[in-house]
Structure 1
């Protein structure tokens, strides 16, 4: 059976041929309806032809399900299809490749540049075309006539003259890949306007990777949409022997070598420090940069410099440790002159550090030559950077008031230490499929956010014994999920064993290739709680040996009574401890401060407290053990004018990731922008007297979809995007509203690609509308659930005024939130 033609066409070609082809829009129904589509296009949303039942969601759907979707859209197997979507069209390419695989007979085309390209040259419609019933037959063709290949054919390709192509990013390829595979990110094929590069440029690029028309090409990736786009482009260029693979390659990619030994990596850094960055990369290869994450080093986007992350288990630091960290930041975290030197950042200057949402400390501009000296200073005071990054058990988060909060059942600091030490420097668990995030809290307010951790322990009681309830499979990013209750009761001395068993299950069953879907939560989602619990029991049986070599006698107990009664978002303010003294929670807007200021707080901790500091999951700082008689003197210290226990509502609630300043994934700059906004909005709130009505307005800004700033749990969540219209391309954000862990809800993403310059005014309108129309004691989450999305979009754009929401009057049509 011959395959249909598969190619890429321009908007001009589509305009001339639109009446003779079937145009398919693969965006979600809201985008198709609200934002407009190519006139006459039918809608087949990508989520309906990507199998959601697999850990690697997005693989081929069943033929019958695919046939049903296309028939419902009035598509016949002989139709000529032109498919399009967003951002260069990978999901549209996925539709086309699925059609090829299931025997579509008509020709298939991908619209170059997708909806954005069409918008530049053609009009959009919001009218749905009339659909006529159709019959669509889909079936898997014989293996010798299918572009889909199995594992044996991939192995054969590796050992032949064929070329195996990894269509993931360079960073993902460097982390692990099929032997001999060349890397080709699908986005490398596009220009800055998200359209295909000129043919000659594409052919040169492909040839440079050894991908030529005379060689059989086998594609693989972790999300099928990426290889689909590459498959379409290769066919468009005339490559007629292209195949693709979608199965698991985990056993090829699970590395068991010294390359993933954290201690060996640390030794390599020391060995190459005198010779410098270039020598390290020249001798060990570019992929060493990915492995160095296990030593706490993340190569920032400015080549040759590192972000250094310091692990602070439970957020607890001695004043001596804090002083060392501050001194290291002040001395070594400095930009070179060609990157701006002392004035490299217009707000924070130079020599600063960032407090993170996992109670770590990180700093930038670190040179390889300086790392041994930093590590020596750290080791002298009991600090480490090992496994602060990388695919290992990350820093264990806890209630920052552990051991001093009057509202806690268990002081969990011993458990935090046990888990940390169990994995520190452990080679076996230095290369998990993905990072494993653990939270442990003994307080009743879930300060450590068990719902968004891979494994979370919260206080419980059973038969008069204090212990923990266990939650598994939480997380954010592109696939947010609330953790599931494992319905277990765990004794305090069993916590470390259960974490180790979870890591063992993850190592043995998680996917090492599918980096978009290989967090533990996808395994929990696919298996369900009952099977996951069974696998844990198997790991904890006599078949599983712990570090001591002895078999575990861990016995599962049914759940006890949960003691979690509330959720507290931060610890800002002055709070009484269980011993009658006080801890003072200081707001550190966007988590950034100078290293010298951090050292100053170390001094104040010794002067006014017991020489201890605590870091919080909200990027803030606690000074505990302050006597009541010393509170006034401490609060009068000048540094508390900048880092206040009584900040404005936006300064208190703002959280950001690193953003595009240093992160190669960041789409927008976050830190400087967010602190300016917070100050501006606090002034606006004070002028209107709104600061008295709002303790905190939680505004979280992530530079990309990775959600490092946790926008899904904010009152107002923002994640970086790019906005394009007929006249400009600019930084933008998707806007989500109403996230609240206490209510068990993530934000609802109500508006997409909103230009950044419009956000402060939009936030002001949202606050005014909420204040004007909320019911007594109605939370932001409940309010956003009650107000229709089109009204919320209208408030954001200014088309709906606060008074219109207050009176309950609805706009006549849904408002399109595109500010041009």
Structure 2
């Protein structure tokens, strides 16, 4: 693998790739525990998939931005290492599947040549920072949020404070009050605002905190109506520090930030966030407004006239084409069925339109593509290119544009097939409710399980995979969710669970709902208002006949897209971290973090050195606690338990207590003097725990 290493220009990335290769080898030789290795590879975008022996690789694309060259590079990678397909995700990433673990370092190195990263695309980290795909061209935006999303992505990438949290942390920037990035279901959601102070305009953000989907969706709290732009990064850092210290680490089902707020109360969490600010690397962070410049519009001197299906073109233009805030230019939204783009089509797409659009494509939250800076005279050509590739279906982001996760195609947690269900429901709309391609106020979303990767929890009409039992057999089923969706300006609704039906009956569920809405909805009444007026119970009674299992037919025991009788085969999910419960592993981890702390200190990165030293305290203390059979559920719990079982019992003498010593981290600025003192204390503590462990091992021998 020497050849690909020497091609990299970024020494940090090169070091990470070499390290990944070494860790893979050590894991295969049995030198690294499965739990520890899983955490390591997830933080590098390598995710086990349903099929044994192969991996899903998630490619991290901040706010969904990808250039022609990058998209072609990813297509090449998928052809060489994966399954000749690009899967666009609801978090604006691209996933490729069926990758051999051994080849992931080489794959990463080739992606890095075009400034593409896998780092922290999975695992207990700050995940991909998402944003409204039309940020920068949105006629309603106060300002372009892209540079802010880029700054936050860059600041937390490889940042010591968020490498091994209890769970993932998600951030979204919406371009306007329409909230098209769904700020209200994120750990940290942001909507741009401008205020005028003494005649001067100031940029800032409305801040939403503690939202999330999953099996227990929660709507975020509005915690700031206006946070000045220079406080965005410091505030986010304080939030993440609190999550890292107090977040649950044992029970993955309670380990998201929303549950921390639920447990401690919003007021206490906000107090802790404020308390943490002194330790931040920076107290004010100036955002470079030009960090994400608008791409140059294409120069189209003359466009040859082409034959065109005028009727279909006009419908497509009404539903998929929008005027940008830049006068004379249009954005074109591309509906990508189930988010799957074969690599051969990706190449044909770029080849056909690259002279007619700007060199910047955005992946959308509903698994489509956004093309920017298209001139009026290029629209027929762009339509024809898309049409030849099967990508010119009308109704982008309408009821006919169904969002879905991969489900049982590749996901360990998938219960039922969501992709074929999506295709069937979309075709039903086109065949029976064609006028609804113009309706962008009604959304259908599907997940293969309750975890909401397909965003069913924020859909007007949502489904998630489940199962039922009948006649001694298992029936593939769908949980029907109704009434979710965006209200605007940081407000939203989580969908209600209404009824569970056999999966093959979701077509009738959709017919019942749409027909009832058409028959009984008031003139101009939005679905949310209609749903509230009729009530959840009304829809339960409407759909209850479809839940009758006494009328099952043989084909209903077979899932969508399958030929064999259904059975549940759920694996172990990897989105959350695992508890590392090996004492020796934790002590080795503490030593590794001590090395990182020393290196950061020598480099003058004092804030990083301090946080690495903090991690030394935590890992070493947890090792000794586990040696006593005590498994603390958070970093804060480790501090308390160590004092109770080691300091207060006199087993280890620490003046003032262990918790007091460690929590000096949030009582001092990250200066060189404090970094030196704190690092020295961490070294002393590590040496003491190692000596204690060695004494015990000697006694046991």
Are 2:72 and 1:327 equivalent residues in the alignment?
Answer: no
Residues 250-286 of structure 1, C-alpha deviation per residue, up to 9 Å, x if partnerless?
A: xxxxxxxxxxx9997743432367x6xx963734232
CA deviations over 1:87-115 (Å, ceiling 9, x no partner): xxxxxxxxxxxxxxxxxxxxxxxxxxxxx
CA distance in 1, matches of 2:77, 2:19: 21
**1:312 matches 2:57:** no
Q: CA RMSD in A?
A: 2.7
Q: Does 1:629 align with 2:360?
A: no
Aligned twin of 2:471: 726
Q: Distance in 2 between matches of 1:770 and 1:481?
A: 27
> Mean alpha-carbon deviation: is it higher for 608-617 or for 723-732?
723-732
Whether the aligned pair in 2 keeps the contact of 1:648 and 1:696 (CA below 8 Å) is: no
Task: Work out the CA distance in 2 between the residues paired with 1:691 and 1:623.
Answer: 23
1:269 maps to 20
Q: Is 1:672 aligned with 2:406?
A: no
The Cα of 1:798 is off from its aligned counterpart by 4.9
The answer to whether structure 1 residue 783 and structure 2 residue 544 are counterparts is no
Q: Which residue of 2 aligns with 1:397?
A: 130
Which of 232, 235, 240 aligns to 1:495? It is 232
Mean Cα deviation higher: 314-323 or 738-747: 738-747
- SS in structure 1 at match of 2:513: helix
Q: Is the 8 A contact 1:404 1:577 kept in 2?
A: yes
For 1:615 and 1:702, locate their aligned partners in 2 and report how far apart those are by CA, in whole Å.
Answer: 19
Cα displacement string for residues 468-490 of structure 1 (whole angstroms, at most 9, x for unaligned residues): 11110000112211110112522
Q: What does 1:521-532 correspond to in 2, within 5 Å?
A: 521-532=258-269
- The more displaced of 532-541 and 351-360 is 532-541
Tell me: CA distance 1:296–1:783, structure 2 relative to 1, closer, same or farther (3 Å).
same
User: Unaligned 5+ residue runs, structure 2?
Assistant: 1-11, 287-317, 553-701
- Aligned-partner SS, 2:498: strand
- 1:744 is paired with a residue whose SS is strand
- CA shift for structure 1 position 308: 0.4
Q: Which structure: greater helix fraction?
A: 2
Equivalent in 101, 104, 129 of residue 368 of structure 1:
101
Structure 2 CA distance for partners of 1:585 and 1:281, relative to 1, 3 Å: farther
Asked if the contact 2:134–2:175 (Cα under 8 Å) also holds between the matched residues in 1, the reply is no
Could you tell me which residue of structure 1 aligns to residue 217 of structure 2? 480
CA offsets 1:191-245 (integer angstroms, 9 cap, x no match): xxxxxxxxxxxxxxxxxxxxxxxxxxxxxxxxxxxxxxxxxxxxxxxxxxxxxxx
Partner Cα distance (1:579, 1:749) in 2: 43
1:519 matched residue in structure 2: 256
Say whether residues 1:706 and 2:443 are aligned partners: no
Render the CA deviation track for 1:364-421: whole Å, top value 9, x for unaligned: 1011233233212211111101001111001001011111222111211211111111
- Structure 2 residue aligned with 1:59: none
Q: What secondary structure, in the 3-state scheme, does the structure 1 residue paired with 2:203 have?
A: strand
The TM-score, its normalising length taken from structure 2, stands at 0.67
Is the CA contact 1:715–1:739 (under 8 Å) kept in the aligned structure 2?
A: yes
Q: Secondary structure at 1:585's aligned position in 2?
A: strand
Q: Given the alignment, which residue of 500, 505, 509 partners 2:242?
A: 505
Look up the SS of the partner of 2:57 in the other structure: strand
Cα distance in 2 for residues equivalent to 1:572 and 1:394: 31
Which of 267, 270, 276 is the equivalent residue of 1:533? 270
| Partner of residue 346, structure 1 | none
Is 1:606–2:606 an aligned residue pair?
no
1:121-132 equivalences under 5 Å are none
Q: 2:154 aligns with which of 417, 421, 430?
A: 421
**Deviation, structure 1 residue 749:** 1.0
Aligned length: 501
The alpha carbon displacement at 1:650 in A equals 6.9
1:435 aligns with 2:168: yes
* Cα distance, 1:497 vs structure 2: 1.9
What TM-score comes out, normalization by structure 1 length?
0.58
In 1, Cα distance between the equivalents of 2:338 and 2:14?
32
Kindly state the Cα deviation for residue 645 of structure 1 after the two structures are TM-superposed: 5.9
Following superposition, the deviation at residue 354 of structure 1 comes to 1.1
Find out whether 1:295 has 2:44 as its counterpart: yes
